[in-house]
Amino acid sequence: MEPSVAIVGATGAVGEIMRQVLDEYRFPLRTIKFLASERSVGKTIDFRGRQYTVEPIRPEAFAGVDLVLSSTPSGVSRESSPMAAQAGAIVVDNSSAWRMDPDVPLVVPEVNADELGRIRKGIVANPNCVAIPLSVALKPLHAVAGIKRVVVATYQSSSGKGAKGLADLDAQLRSIGMGQPMPPPKAHAAQLCGNVLPHDWTTNPDGYTEEETKVMQETRKILGENIPISATCVRVPVRVSHSLAVNVEFHRAISPEQAAAAYRSAPGVVLCESKPPLPLEVTGRDEVFIGRIRRDPSVPYGLNLWVVADNLRKGAASNAVQIAQLLLRRGLVPRR
């Protein structure tokens, strides 16, 4: 029997892509409903040729639902995801609320799909939009040479802030094109157009931003290894797709040719050998694109990589749907 599905946060930027990916993947479902905050309740959504009315997030909305794909702010998720699980559904949660809970698996299908055998709270966490492509890039190399240390600098797109971030950037670009005064930023920490922002997230007492902490902690949890990771996260004036400059130090020797060979057979990876991957070319794709593999001459065993992935798709919605596909194939979705 095909599952009954609910998308929570259906009208947000990631919720919209979730609907698109479900359709593209021809995900089997018996029924579907769309839930969102009160300000979106009553709106209509078109899905597979039918119109659906957006419903409020409340306990009775999850009655009879087998599978939930959720993308809401963490505060909402802390209430809604347990609500859905208590109603008998399994939840794939895209917020940061559950990622570091030891009883909640944090899953990237290409890296640690076996964690789906340990779902204790009825919730599976979808990782951070940088931790996903970073772990996909690191896993094949770790298997070859054992990773000793990782240093990553990110170039993150405006859409990481959702629809409000894109509206910010687009308004700034329009003002330049029309010769008008620059509008003040509403979603980003400062003007993003023509700028880079290393402070576009809340800063913790240790000086690292919340985003940097997520990348470091979540990547270690996904890989299942306490690998030292140092991250610097920066917002750049790009609409969609995040880029990563990754420096990896290894315990054993590994050449760029060996790394390339590992990537050619790695699931979910596109190896770019003739030219580096670019955000404009990667947007709309679900793979992690890797190029510019070269030796790091400052350490005995080290490589530098350039990694790019669509943050709305593989960094969020597509990874969640891929988790849902695995749950379905393994018979882990309740059928009622």
Region label for 26, one of left (φ > 0), alpha (ψ between -120 and 50) or beta (otherwise): left
Tens digit of pLDDT for each residue in 199-247?
A: 999 999 999 999 999 999 999 999 999 999 999 999 999 999 999 999 9
Averaged pLDDT, 174-201: 96
Tens digit of pLDDT for each residue in 32-42?
A: 999 999 999 99
Whether 129 is a known active-site residue: answer yes
Model confidence at 335, in pLDDT bands (50, 70, 90)?
A: confident
Q: What is the pLDDT of residue 334?
A: 85
Q: What is the pLDDT of residue 1?
A: 80
Among the listed residues 129, 193, 233, 272, the single catalytic one is 129
Among the listed residues 142, 188, 242, 272, the single catalytic one is 242
- The span from the CA of 15 to the CA of 9, in Å, is 6
Q: What is the pLDDT of residue 103?
A: 97
Longest dimension (CA), the chain: 61
Structural domains for the chain: 4-126+316-329 (3.40.50.720), 131-157+196-310 (3.30.360.10)
Averaged pLDDT, 62-82: 97
Whether 242 is a known active-site residue: answer yes
Tens digit of pLDDT for each residue in 152-175?
A: 999 999 999 998 999 999 999 999
Angle at alpha carbon of residue 18, lines to 100 and 328, rounded to 5°: 75
- Burial-class residue 47 by CB neighbours within 10 Å (0-12, 13-18, 19+): middle
- The span from the CA of 317 to the CA of 23, in Å, is 12
Tens digit of pLDDT for each residue in 109-129?
A: 999 999 999 999 999 999 999
pTM of the complete model = 0.96
The b/e string for 165-183 (b: 16+ C-beta within 10 A; e otherwise) is: bbebbebbeeeeeeeeeee
